[in-house]
Homo-oligomer: A and B are copies of this chain.
Amino acid sequence: MSNDRLNHNERETISEMTTGRLSVYLRCLTFLESCSQMTVSSAELADRFHLNSAQIRKDLACFGEFGTRGVGYNVSRLKDHLVRELGLDRTRRVLIAGAGNLGMALADYGGFNDHGFEITALIDNDLTKIGRRSRSGIEVLAWEDLPTIVRDQQVDIGIVAVNADSAQTVYDAFADVGLNAVLNFAPTQLRGRPGVKVKSVDLRINLESLSFYLKKVEDEG
């Protein structure tokens, strides 16, 4: 399909799919580096991590300088390049709105608070929650202090971890204080604003995919 036949949304989806694959390659290279492996070919990457080698070569074509024909890619240099490409060479500060079970779980989630990301604050409008801490030590601050926190802590990304009814209010407040990137966990469609990127996590889709698999097994069995 040629690029000019894709609408903006589709291009964005494809760009996000590529980003997702770059994230996967980064995980593989980080693992290989931890095993002190110096070089890796696209065929070996594909084989060891159950990926598609043609797709790898296509995705990494523009990073050709890190590869030598017949030898493969230099693991550390390619890894460092992917880190920069994904903008993970600086630390993104992340704020979570909603200190219920979900917000608390996300505050302590492995991977949300290292290698490029730092959870700087949890906020909630429930006065009884303010001052509590997540297991990893992130303190719950007052919802009213959002503008101050975002400015003082130079927050880059806001996470919506409130219920569906409050999600739009939180998103709008994030946009008002100048956040450009929002990760939404509330099972609702948000009315977006120009320049404020939203990524919504639809956890149910994962269950539906498993249901589809179970149905296939049942139909075949």
Asked if A152 is at the interface of the complex by the 8 Å CB criterion, the answer is no
Task: Tell me, in angstroms, the Cα distance from A12 to B45 when the chains sit together.
Answer: 18
Tell me the chain A residues, 37-85 only, with Cβ under 8 Å from chain B: 46, 50-52, 54-55, 85
Choice from B9, B52, B87, B210 contacting A6 with Cβ under 8 Å: B52
Contact bitstring A132-161, B, C-beta under 8 A = 1, else 0? 000000000000000000000000110000
Asked if A127 is at the interface of the complex by the 8 Å CB criterion, the answer is no
Cβ of A53 to closest chain B Cβ, rounded Å: 9
Tell me the chain A residues, 164-205 only, with Cβ under 8 Å from chain B: 164, 180-183, 187, 197, 199, 201-205
Q: Which of A26, A117, A206 has the most CB of B within 10 A?
A: A206
Asked if A35 is at the interface of the complex by the 8 Å CB criterion, the answer is no
Structural contact, B51 and A203, CB atoms closer than 8 A: no
Structural contact, B204 and A112, CB atoms closer than 8 A: yes
Tell me the chain A residues, 92-122 only, with Cβ under 8 Å from chain B: 92, 94, 100-102, 104-106, 108-112, 116-117
26 contacts between A and B (CB under 8 A): A6-B52, A7-B46, A7-B52, A10-B55, A19-B208, A20-B209, A23-B204, A23-B209, A85-B215, A87-B214, A87-B218, A92-B207, A92-B210, A101-B102, A101-B104, A105-B105, A110-B187, A111-B187, A111-B207, A112-B203, A157-B214, A180-B213, A180-B214, A181-B211, A201-B203, A201-B206
CB-based closest 4 A-B pairs: A87-B215, A111-B204, A102-B105, A101-B105
